[in-house]
Amino acid sequence: VTLLTHPEVSVVTNSEVIPSVKKQFFSRVLVVAPLNTIANWSQEYKKWTPSELREMVQVFIIDTRLQMNERVAKLKKWYENGGICIMGYNMYTTLSEVSENSCVESTCSSSLTKGKYSMYAPQIKNCLLSPGPDILVADEAHILKNSLNKTYQAINRIRTTRRIALT
């Protein structure tokens, strides 16, 4: 989590910096982690991040408690305003399937059905895949060791050159 609090990784901490300079730094961080560690990521961020930076950088948690329209709204807000988006591997895989319109009843995570969420596909693709986040942090990255795994394939579609794998 220290990585996310470092000014040159997440945002510029000086609020007087002009917007064009801010774009030189990472503004959108995506953390993908096992479901049981998501709350810990949020707590650790709050614990270790200086209060002035916490006020500038919003944390977005996307989980199953949200309906699809709420997930997409949060993703758009994160993408447009920057910040840290935290979600589980299964949630990321589900959203990736929706964005690729590859979700069919027999292969989808959760209760998605073919075409049910297709209206969200372009927005999800823009936010998560292309161009997607400025930096990706994969917690417990050993989950991604099998290239035939749907989760590996979903994460591999992210168009970012900055990836950090934590094990």
Mind listing the pLDDT tens digit for each residue in 104-152? Answer: 434 455 444 446 787 888 888 888 888 889 999 999 999 888 888 898 8
Q: Where are the alpha helices (DSSP H) in 7-164?
A: 19-22, 38-48, 51-56, 68-81, 89-99, 121-124, 150-156
* Nearest alpha carbon to residue 61 among 47, 40, 52, 80: 40
**Per-residue confidence (pLDDT) for residue 116, from 0 to 100:** 77
Residues of the chain with pLDDT under 70: 1-26, 101-115
* Cα torsion angle, 27, 32, 35, 40, sign: negative
Distance from the Cα of residue 89 to its chain's centroid: 10
pTM attached to this predicted model: 0.77
